[in-house]
């Protein structure tokens, strides 16, 4: 089997692609209940990952997250939905890697793969500037060592996608 075909099958198994009976790949269409379910998974797991990362947070990580958040502002100004999605995922992944919880991170990344095309389309149509403020709140809670506040800030950030879909 070719590497590309194997990669397509792997992405299909993770729900990021749909394969037709003829073997063609396409991005799956997610209905509102599936999107709501995936956002609920994010709201459960991502605050837990952030909480697990908190004891391993240091000044350099906070500086890195601030820099990533600043670059997200630029993506918003440029209306670069694809760049915004990549930067947003990098922001979250940078934090969650500090959790040292590879199984949880793998599940979250699978959810991101499934939501990616839908979020890209959504961000092209909507104003994502509120996300930068949500990330600032996450950074502030990390800097303060505020575990409960961090969980809440992450939960609010990751559920914004669902709120945007309902608006």
Q: Do 83 and 151 fall into the same domain? A: yes
Q: Do 6 and 60 fall into the same domain? A: no
- State the pLDDT at residue 109: 92
- State the pLDDT at residue 112: 86
Which CA distances in Å does 34 have to 15, 48, 118, 126, 161? 11, 22, 11, 20, 13
Q: Do 24 and 72 fall into the same domain? A: no
Report the CATH number at residue 43: 1.20.120.530
Q: Do 108 and 140 fall into the same domain? A: yes
Q: Do 140 and 91 fall into the same domain? A: yes
Q: Do 21 and 83 fall into the same domain? A: no
- State the pLDDT at residue 59: 97
Residues 6+ apart with CB under 8 A from 148: none
Q: Looking at the 3D structure of the chain, how many domains does it have?
A: 2
Q: Do 126 and 48 fall into the same domain? A: yes
Q: Do 7 and 52 fall into the same domain? A: no
Q: Which residues of the chain have pLDDT under 70?
A: 1, 8, 11-12, 14-19, 26-28, 119-132, 161-162, 164-167
121 in helix, strand or coil? Answer: helix
- Report d(CA 120, CA 142) in Å as an integer: 27
Q: Do 91 and 23 fall into the same domain? A: no
Domain of residue 22: give its range.
1-30
Residues 6+ apart with CB under 8 A from 26: 17, 18, 20
Q: Do 142 and 125 fall into the same domain? A: yes
pLDDT in tens, 24-43: 776 667 788 888 888 899 99
- State the pLDDT at residue 130: 58
Name the nearest CA neighbour of 28 among 36, 13, 38, 18. 18
- State the pLDDT at residue 123: 63
- State the pLDDT at residue 55: 97
- State the pLDDT at residue 53: 98
- State the pLDDT at residue 129: 56
- State the pLDDT at residue 137: 95
Q: Do 22 and 50 fall into the same domain? A: no
- Report d(CA 94, CA 135) in Å as an integer: 12
Q: Do 152 and 81 fall into the same domain? A: yes
The reported pTM is: 0.81
- Report d(CA 104, CA 35) in Å as an integer: 19
Where b means 16+ CB within 10 Å and e means fewer, 112-151 reads bebbbbbbeebbeebebeebbebbebbbebbeeeeeeebb
């Amino acid at each position: 089997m070719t590497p590309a075909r194997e990669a397509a099958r792997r992405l299909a198994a993770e729900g990021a692609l749909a394969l037709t009976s003829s073997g063609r790949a396409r991005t799956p269409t997610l209905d509102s209940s599936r999107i709501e379910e995936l956002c609920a998974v994010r709201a459960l797991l991502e605050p837990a990952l952030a909480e697990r990362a908190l004891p391993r947070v240091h000044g350099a990580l906070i500086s890195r997250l601030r820099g990533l958040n600043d670059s997200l502002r630029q993506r918003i100004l440029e209306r670069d939905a694809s760049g915004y999605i990549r930067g947003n995922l990098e922001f979250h992944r940078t934090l969650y890697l500090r959790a040292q919880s590879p199984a949880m991170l793998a599940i979250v990344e699978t959810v991101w793969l499934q939501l990616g095309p839908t979020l890209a389309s959504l961000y092209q149509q909507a104003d994502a500037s509120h996300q930068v403020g949500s990330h600032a709140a996450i950074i502030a809670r990390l800097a303060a060592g505020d575990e409960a506040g961090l969980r809440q800030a992450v939960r609010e950030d990751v559920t914004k996608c669902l709120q945007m879909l309902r608006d």
